[in-house]
Structure 1
Amino acid sequence: MEWVKVLHLLCVLGWMTGIFAAPRALIFWKREWAASGSFGPTGDLTIRIYRFSLGLGVIAVLSGLYLAHLWGWPTWSLTKLGLVILLAAHYAWTGRLILRARKGIFEQSDRWLRVYNEISVFAVIGILILVVYKPF
């Protein structure tokens, strides 16, 4: 079971890269698009970050579900799962923003994207508290 924990943590770290970096990269992509009117390297980087972290996110979720099953689904793990679902929804919305950006559609302001980028931090803090303290 310890190797599953290691796999889970490695994949979570990779997924967090995409969760935190892709929305921020969208800000730079939007600025690059406004300046040049073309796709550019920032768009390519944003898509690559998102795709890389997507597979790791799937493995992280599956390995987390496996671990929770082995532990008998304690209450803290169900609460964590709820927060992970919110993170996955956030990530899916980021994917939608990236798909629109590929078409040159940037409707959100820089400020909106910065706030959107920081929202995920609160879910991650909640997850970390649950995993470390296991309050219930």
Structure 2
Amino acid sequence: MYLWLKLFHIFFIVAWFAGLFYLPRLFVNLAMAAQPAEYARLLQMAEKLFKFMQPWAVGSLACGLALLITQFGFQAGWAHGKLLIGLILLAYHIYCGKLLGDFRHNRNIRSHKWYRVFNELPVFALLFALYLVIFKPF
């Protein structure tokens, strides 16, 4: 059972991260869109991607939590760190939904430069999570 949970956790993480990496990039383009047709097309892409990301986020967190409970019994410090990263990524995901709503209602107040920086945040979360999994420092 452990290997199946691990397999699905990694699968869901990869799929979720595809969205976490690309959705903010769509926000960069939305913030720069000059033509209404271009804006509408990018907004539709962003909305479809966000819907696509939802089950992968749930699967990632569910499998990760199941692994934590069944394999480590909440005793491994590195796993606590990984859970914290998962919760931070969930907050990032939810905030992306809020930003998407702002674009949907033409209330975006951020520049494309801000979104370029925002787009890089999941990279650091992924790096730290991989560090915890491989080196298990705690």
Q: Number of residues paired by the alignment?
A: 135
1:39, 1:102 within 8 Å by CA — same for their partners in 2? no
What is the CA RMSD across the aligned residues, in angstroms? Answer: 1.4
- Asked if 1:63 corresponds to 2:63, the answer is yes
Q: Could you say which residue in structure 1 is the equivalent of 2:114?
A: 112
1:18, 1:54 within 8 Å by CA — same for their partners in 2? no
Unpaired runs of at least 5, structure 1:
none
The letter for the 1-side match of 2:31 is K
Q: CA deviation at 1:27?
A: 1.3
Q: CA deviation at 1:38?
A: 6.9
**What SS does structure 2 have at the residue aligned with 1:104?**
coil
Q: Could you say which residue in structure 2 is the equivalent of 1:51?
A: 51
Q: Could you say which residue in structure 1 is the equivalent of 2:137?
A: 135
Rounded to whole Å, the distance in 2 between the matches of 1:45 and 1:121 is: 22
Q: Could you say which residue in structure 2 is the equivalent of 1:15?
A: 16
Q: CA deviation at 1:99?
A: 0.8
Given the two structures, how large is their TM-score scaled by the length of structure 1? 0.92
Given the two structures, how large is their TM-score scaled by the length of structure 2? 0.91
**What SS does structure 2 have at the residue aligned with 1:42?**
helix
1:27, 1:113 within 8 Å by CA — same for their partners in 2? yes
The letter for the 1-side match of 2:29 is F
Q: CA deviation at 1:67?
A: 0.4
Q: Deviations over 1:83-115 (max 9, x none)?
A: 111111111111100011011222100111111
Rounded to whole Å, the distance in 1 between the matches of 2:137 and 2:38 is: 50
Q: CA deviation at 1:29?
A: 2.0
Rounded to whole Å, the distance in 2 between the matches of 1:119 and 1:7 is: 24
Rounded to whole Å, the distance in 2 between the matches of 1:52 and 1:118 is: 20
2:13, 2:57 within 8 Å by CA — same for their partners in 1? yes
Q: Could you say which residue in structure 2 is the equivalent of 1:2?
A: 3
